[in-house]
């Protein structure tokens, strides 16, 4: 929900024509409605597993990057996507969108102007890394920022739930999340998830 809410907030803060604003708001309200519906359906079906269609990772990343480029348009972020178009995430598209939305939103929020998204496959494990050139996350806070409500910097708006939600989804796939330092100088958030080529 963070990404559509950020898009709505951004649209309201920009001086756009009324028709364009109405279109953006309608589009994001429909998206939020789909997200809520998905989670309600998922809750109702808890305990059951279904067959999911593998998701094309690069295409989903590009969708999220395009949406966030509108939210952070004033920053003119240089986003590099280093993902083979054949890579697939073995899971639900809504889960992938939620994870990417949270992690990429944080990268865009904190970067000085550069974000990199890369992925590689080792066996059946997909390693997805989102890096930025911002101030980074102190090693002492790396675990705490994954807890609900914790924010390393209270001066920047946010709810402190994005990484906690991402961690919950990653763990539901028996995956792992780790936070380190990027070669770009900022944070590097790595998600290990089921994948295939």
pLDDT at 17: 82
Domains in the chain, ordered, with CATH? Answer: 52-196 (3.30.565.10)
At residue 162, the pLDDT reads 72
Angle 109-113-116 from CA coordinates, rounded to 5° = 85
Which residues is 190 bridged to in the sheet? 129, 178
- What pLDDT does 8 receive? 76
List pLDDT tens digits, range 9-24: 777 778 778 888 888 8
Give the pLDDT confidence score for residue 117 in this predicted structure: 98
Residues of the chain short of pLDDT 70, as ranges, are 1-2, 37-51, 140-161
Residue 100 in contact with residue 170, Cβ under 8 Å?
no
C-alpha angle with apex 148: 147 to 150, nearest 5 degrees?
70
Q: How far apart are CA 99 and CA 122, in angstroms?
A: 20
Q: What is the pTM of this model?
A: 0.70
Q: Positive or negative CA dihedral for 40, 44, 48, 52?
A: negative
Alpha-carbon distances of 123 from 50, 126, 128, rounded to whole Å = 22, 8, 14
Q: Please write the tens of the pLDDT for every residue from 141-156.
A: 666 565 544 444 444 4
- The predicted structure's pLDDT at residue 16: 76
């Amino acid at each position: 929900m963070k990404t559509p809410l950020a898009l709505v907030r951004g649209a309201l803060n920009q001086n756009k024509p009324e028709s364009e604003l109405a279109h953006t708001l309608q589009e994001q309200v429909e998206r939020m409605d789909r997200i809520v519906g998905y989670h309600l359906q998922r809750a109702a079906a808890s305990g059951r597993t279904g067959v999911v269609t593998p998701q094309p990772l690069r295409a989903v990343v590009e969708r999220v990057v395009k949406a966030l480029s509108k939210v952070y348009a004033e920053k003119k972020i240089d986003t590099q996507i280093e993902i083979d178009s054949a890579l697939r995430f073995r899971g639900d598209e809504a889960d992938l969108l939620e994870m990417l939305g949270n992690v990429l939103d944080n990268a865009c929020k904190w970067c000085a102007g550069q974000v990199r998204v890369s992925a590689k496959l080792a066996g059946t494990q997909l390693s997805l890394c989102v890096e930025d050139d911002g101030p980074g996350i102190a090693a002492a806070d790396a675990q705490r920022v994954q807890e609900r409500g914790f924010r390393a910097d209270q001066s920047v708006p946010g709810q402190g739930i994005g990484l906690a939600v991402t961690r919950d989804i990653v763990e539901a796939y028996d995956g792992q999340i780790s936070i380190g330092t990027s070669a770009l100088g900022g944070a590097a958030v790595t998600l290990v998830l089921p994948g295939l080529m």
